[in-house]
Amino acid sequence: MNIMPLSVKKMLVTAGIMCAAISSVAQADLLDEIKEKGEIVIATEARYAPFEMLQDGKIVGYGKDILDEIMKQLPGVKLKQLDLPFQGILAGLNTKRYDFVATSLTISKARADNYAFTYPISTAAVAMLKRKGDERITKPEDMAGMVIGTQAGSVQLNAIKSFEEKKLTPNGEGYKAIKEFTDYNEAYAALASRRVDVVPQAIPNLAPIVKQRPDMFEIVQPPFGPATYYAWVGRKDAESASLVQFFSDGIEQLHQSGKLAELQQKWFGFTMDIPTGSVPAPLY
């Protein structure tokens, strides 16, 4: 019976581990795979004006303009952008139906635990939408005793409840009620018909509503609650790290060049003060 020397065994084991590691590294770079394949598949929910929306059957908006600018850095790579319902968009990322999600997601603790965020593309600071001329509401504290409209399951709902708990209730009066709707369009309709008194929502999302109906709505500032931001996400694994960083670097370059501010002015009518060079720690 031939017995292999212990030193030889160690060499073979070490060599095997090194080969496996090299093979893993070679196969674990999604950005390289995309470049080699010549196509990237990105999921978007095109129902979130003015970030992503449909116009003549095509996806347009602030987020789309950012995406197109960054994709210029991947010559030869075709963009395949899918318009999908928001409810299943992150689940599809988990199952690798697509490479990346470029839709506006509030940076939250729950999401950051499971997905890799890019640098922010926009503020998600929550302000209030009221009926034009409603002089009862001039600041966030005026929401005490009022009926609040919001979208069920939204991150903004967390901000609304937190503000009541930390600011309103200790001063004697919380909200009269919080009415949750399937989406924000229903909440805006309820505001117009006086079924709710105010609809708190991220400032960038409120801008187009007021632009479309200046006779009906107006925004009450300042924002309330901690600063929050919108960003994009990739899978939280070693394979996707280079792709997420690629998009973060692209966002940073647009910020530094002034292009991001230009796009903000185009789509929102104002510019935003957002963090650069890192992903801010989520507060909810």
Provide CB contacts within 8 A for 140, sequence distance 6+: 128, 163, 167, 220, 222, 224
Whose structure tokens read 């966030």?
A: 140
Region 208-228: mean pLDDT is: 90
- What pLDDT sits at residue 5? 54
Kindly state the average pLDDT of the residues 263-281: 93
Domains observed in the chain = 30-123+229-268 (3.40.190.10), 126-224 (3.40.190.10)
Amino acid letter for position 81: Q
Q: What element of type H or E holds 208?
A: helix 203-212
pLDDT of residue 154: 81
Residue 40 or residue 153, greater confidence = 40
20: pLDDT strictly greater than 90: no
162-213 residue pLDDT tens:
999 999 999 999 999 999 998 888 999 999 999 999 999 999 999 889 988 9
In DSSP terms, which residues pair with 202 in a beta bridge? 126
Instruction: Please tell me which residue, 16 or 59, carries the higher pLDDT value.
Output: 59
Question: What 3-state DSSP class applies to 233?
Answer: strand
pLDDT exceeds 70 at position 249: yes
41, containing H or E segment: strand 39-44
pLDDT score of 22: 44
Residue 18 has pLDDT above 50, yes or no: no
Looking at the predicted structure, is the pLDDT value of residue 131 above 80? yes
The first and second tokens of residue 228, run together, are: 């929050």
Mean pLDDT, rounded, for 217-245: 94
Band of pLDDT at residue 27, cut at 50, 70 and 90: low
Measured CA to CA, the distance from residue 256 to residue 260 in angstroms comes to 8
Q: Mean pLDDT over residues 253-278, rounded?
A: 95
User: Looking at per-residue confidence, does 277 or 20 come out higher?
Assistant: 277
CA distance 271 to 29: 35
Summary mean pLDDT of the chain? 90
Higher pLDDT, 25 or 276: 276
Q: Which has the higher per-residue pLDDT, 4 or 59?
A: 59
3-state class of 190 per DSSP?
helix
Q: Tell which wins on pLDDT, 260 or 23.
A: 260
Tens digits of residue pLDDT in 197-207: 999 999 999 98
Greatest alpha-carbon span in the chain: 96
CA distance 174 to 196: 15
Q: What is the mean pLDDT of residues 58-66?
A: 97
**How far is Cα 12 from Cα 1, in angstroms, rounded to an integer?**
20
The pLDDT of residue 15 is above 60: no
Look at residue 97 in the predicted model and tell me its pLDDT.
98
